[in-house]
Amino acid sequence: MGDLQGDFKDALASWASGVSVVACRSTSGLLYGLTVSSFASVSLDPPLVLVCLNNANRLPGMIEAAGGFTISILARGQDDTSNYFASRGREPSPAFHEDHPGDWTAAGRPVIKGAAAWLCCDMHQHMPAGTHTICVGRVVQASTAEGKNPLLYFRRGYRGVEGV
């Protein structure tokens, strides 16, 4: 019998997923974002989505305090942006990083420039789930960039959609 945790991680690596950055602006005005692959739609009416965030990260608490968050669905070619937001040791900052520019939603929440799409969410529900927190957001604004293909992650590497 193999190592269940290792086998579990290897099996999940076989699930191709989109790459997104969940971000929020804290009540003190600082920006913080995190690359996630655990993102899903929940409901069309009302429009709900969820993200799963590790409790060891500061983002679940920031989202709860801020009352909302955004999800930027990265486009093919935004590998460096994904890697930046996945890196450890970053601190919340007052502005976007110059190499990974952002924009603002009508609600004043941060999104990644050049993303294939983004969603702006008000906090709907915050639930503990093992080592993670499930943040369910009610979508209040959405935007799609025409002609952008998604960035995918499969077997521990970035991929794209071929033939699209």
pLDDT, tens digit, for every residue of 68-85? 999 999 999 999 999 999
Fold of 35-153: Pnp Oxidase; Chain A (2.30.110)
Per-residue pLDDT tens digits for 100-132: 889 999 999 999 999 999 999 999 999 999 999
Average pLDDT (20-38) is 93
Q: Can you give the pLDDT at residue 78?
A: 94
Q: Which of 6-20, 105-119, 125-139, 150-164 has the lowest mean pLDDT?
A: 150-164
Average pLDDT (2-17) is 75
Q: Is the pLDDT of residue 17 over 90?
A: no
Secondary structure class of 66 (helix, strand, coil):
helix
CA distances from 9 to 6, 17, 36, 106, 155 (A): 5, 14, 15, 38, 10
Would you state the structure tokens that stand for residue 112, as one six-digit string? 């990644």
Average pLDDT (19-39) is 93
Q: What is the dihedral of CA 67, 73, 78, 84, to 10 degrees?
A: 30
Q: Is the pLDDT of residue 16 over 70?
A: no
Q: Can you give the pLDDT at residue 106?
A: 92
Per-residue pLDDT tens digits for 49-64: 999 999 999 999 999 9
Considering the entire predicted model, what is its pTM?
0.88
Q: Can you give the pLDDT at residue 162?
A: 63
Q: Can you give the pLDDT at residue 98?
A: 84
How far apart (Å, rounded) are the C-alpha atoms in residues 57 and 7? 24
Cα 146 versus chain centre, distance: 20
Q: What is the DSSP letter of 102?
A: E
CA distances from 159 to 29, 34, 59, 82, 123 (A): 34, 19, 26, 12, 31
Grade residue 147 by pLDDT with cuts at 50, 70 and 90: confident
